[in-house]
Amino acid sequence: MFAGLPELGISNGEDLKETLTNCTEPLKAIDQFQTENGILLPTLQSALPFLDLHGTPRLEFHQSVFDELRDKLMERVATIAEGKDEDRYGKLKELLEKSFPLAKMPSIQPVVMQVLKHLPKVPEKKLKLVMADKELYKVCAVEVKRQIWQENQALFGDEVSPLLKQYIVAKEAALFSRDLSILHNFFSPSPKARRQGEVVLKLIQMIGKNVKLYDMVLQFLRTLFLRTRNVHYCTLRAELLMSLHDLDISEICSVDSCHKFTWCLDACIREKFVDAKRARELQGFLDGVKKGQEEVLGDLSMILCDPFASNTLVLSTVRNLQELLSQDALPRDSPDLMLLLRMLSLGQCAWDMIDSQVFKEPRLELEVVTRFLPAMLSVLVDDYTFTVEQKLPSEEKTSLSYPTALPDNFNKYLQENKVACEMGLYYALHIAKQRNKNALQRLLPALVETYNDMAFGDIFLHLLTAHLTLLSDEFGTKEFCSAVFDGFLLTSFSSKENVHRHNLRLLLHLHQKVLPSCVETLVKTLEPSKQFPKEIERDLEHLQNRNILFKLQFGIAGLLHIFYLHDIILNG
């Protein structure tokens, strides 16, 4: 407990023990020890007997004086560090040399940690001693840890790794939330609100203004993205940069070549739309990548691979197509649309670009513009025509029936092209939001086979299930239930656990609206035939309990209705 005192020429308990062992008059020895090691203030000696008269133990007195002096010393350390004295850090280093031997003494430790905290460059020898001692490392300030971490990437990785895992778990939990709502979904929180998350704030505190630590975190994110293909790491990459922007940490923002591009894109994400002015700014950044600086495309692609960025880009693309339709214009004639597709394509090739280290912007497949987009426009025309037809007075209506097949080029590119597939999926969300049952029943079969099974990804299924709640009344018909479940959601649930969970999420929310016979069949179908995660078993049990309760309520309501009719007949 008192290790280090002898190094400073101060007696400790061992010295007292040795003195008492070798002395002939213990009381005189104790008195001499107190005089030599007490507070060296002559006027104090005559005052101490008064404390004895008041029953105040000497330990209590000395402890109170010690605490007061320690607090004053810590304040003085902070004052010196914040001052303008050229030799201020020299003074702190001198104090560190004198106090460091007592770093493990609990009463002195705060002073040592205060000195370490205010030194912009702690002597390497002291850093190594702190790093080697788990207790000292644990209690030292983050300012000191930063100096340790920047020279020890493995240790920094150990500190960051649990936070990154926590971040991913939270994102995935949000996608499987039981709360299905089009207004409160995965993409509802604003960029600024997301940056107030626990993990982001902790990482920003750990990084501080240290460019080297920031680069290390980015390298961790790239490595994990390559290892897992999890796009949430791309989200975190953008959130960290914009958090540093919010705090005006220019030391880092000024050296991150993605800063201005991410800042502009962040404003678009906030508005959930890329307007013409910002589109020109974003295009300027992309066109401004000079020869020899192509490596920045790897970071830009990761920023664009962020689901919040791609969500904004595709929503803007669908809106742009609707405007082209009203203007009777072709997709290839819209520069804004071409830029949106360019950015979508760059974001979707992020993994390949970082993996191959070939930093070259991908060329958008020409046929996506000349064949797929016209096919998509023709589908939008069908929707618009049928919607207008339904609003006409009965005498003006024609015998027009809603088309049941999709254009061949539409289906083809859903399966073969990633950009086209993303747009097709968001078209499904668009028509669900319009409560267009016919269009949805026409499209869902085509989503069974999509590029890399994108239609069965968690983000799309999270959004689709939320949008389907707008058509809750339609689930009372066997035709619509069959189109949604048998025609799409159940086609891959047995081989994909995530699809199983999204089926259960939708049923838990809509089971009172779904045709009772369909609920029975679906509950039996969704019973796991093998060992499934606890989450699926829990959701299934919850659904079964709700179904039993609903049947009970329905049965009681039926009985009450019979009794009511019986009463009317008797008293009629």
pLDDT digits (tens, 9 = 90+) for 169-189: 999 999 999 889 898 999 999
Q: How many Cα atoms within 13 Å fall on the side-chain side of residue 2? A: 11
Query: Is 127 a member of any domain?
Result: yes
Q: Label residue 61 by pLDDT band (50, 70, 90).
A: confident
Report the candidate in 175, 283, 185, 190 with the shortest Cα–Cα distance to residue 239.
Answer: 190
Please report, for residues 405, 557, 566, 568, the alpha-carbon distance to residue 561 in angstroms, rounded to integers and kept in the order given.
Answer: 45, 6, 9, 11
**pLDDT of residue 195 exceeding 70:** yes
Comparing 81 with 199, the larger pLDDT belongs to 199
Number of domains in the chain: 2
- For 73-82, 492-501, 529-538, which range has the lowest pLDDT when averaged over its residues? 529-538
Query: Is 299 a member of any domain?
Result: no
Give the span between the Cα atoms of 496 and 425, in whole angstroms: 19
Query: Is 117 a member of any domain?
Result: yes
**Token pair recorded at residue 440:** 């949805």
pLDDT tens track for 130-164: 999 999 999 999 999 999 999 999 999 999 999 99
H helices present in 83-177, as ranges:
88-99, 109-118, 124-132, 134-139, 142-149, 153-175
Please compute the mean of the pLDDT values over residues 371-400 and round it to a whole number: 82
Comparing 523 with 482, the larger pLDDT belongs to 482
Asked if residues 167 and 232 have their Cβ atoms less than 8 Å apart, the reply is yes
Give the span between the Cα atoms of 263 and 242, in whole angstroms: 7
Q: Label residue 52 by pLDDT band (50, 70, 90).
A: confident
Query: Is 516 a member of any domain?
Result: yes
Asked if residues 436 and 387 have their Cβ atoms less than 8 Å apart, the reply is yes
* pLDDT value at residue 107: 87
Taken in order 472, 477, 481, 483, the sign of the CA dihedral is negative
- For 41-55, 115-129, 296-310, 426-440, which range has the lowest pLDDT when averaged over its residues? 41-55
Please compute the mean of the pLDDT values over residues 350-363 and round it to a whole number: 94
**pLDDT of residue 561 exceeding 70:** no
In one-letter notation, the amino acid at residue 182 is: I
The mean pLDDT value of the chain amounts to: 87
Q: Label residue 499 by pLDDT band (50, 70, 90).
A: very high
Question: Domain span at residue 535?
Answer: 471-571
What DSSP assignment string belongs to 257-302? Answer: TTHHHHHHHHHHHHHTS--HHHHHHHHHHHHT--TT-TTHHHHHHH
Given 133, 163, 195, which residue is the final one in a domain? 133
* pLDDT value at residue 390: 73
* pLDDT value at residue 479: 93
Instruction: Give residues with Cβ within 8 angstroms of 102, minimum separation 6.
Output: 4, 5, 8, 108, 109, 112
Report the candidate in 299, 292, 312 with the shortest Cα–Cα distance to residue 234.
Answer: 299
- For 350-364, 394-408, 470-484, 535-549, which range has the lowest pLDDT when averaged over its residues? 535-549
Q: Label residue 557 by pLDDT band (50, 70, 90).
A: very low
Given 116, 133, 150, which residue is the final one in a domain? 133
| pLDDT over 70 percentage in the chain | 87
Report the candidate in 460, 499, 463, 465 with the shortest Cα–Cα distance to residue 185.
Answer: 463
Query: Is 212 a member of any domain?
Result: no
Query: Is 121 a member of any domain?
Result: yes
Given 133, 153, 168, which residue is the final one in a domain? 133
**Token pair recorded at residue 309:** 């960025």
**pLDDT of residue 443 exceeding 90:** yes
* pLDDT value at residue 565: 46
* pLDDT value at residue 17: 78
Query: Is 55 a member of any domain?
Result: yes
**Token pair recorded at residue 475:** 């689930």
Asked if residues 480 and 437 have their Cβ atoms less than 8 Å apart, the reply is yes
* pLDDT value at residue 22: 80
Three-state SS string across 468-501, please?
HHHHHHHHHCHHHHHHHHHCCHHHCCCCCHHHHH
Query: Is 513 a member of any domain?
Result: yes
pTM: 0.86
Q: Label residue 267 by pLDDT band (50, 70, 90).
A: very high
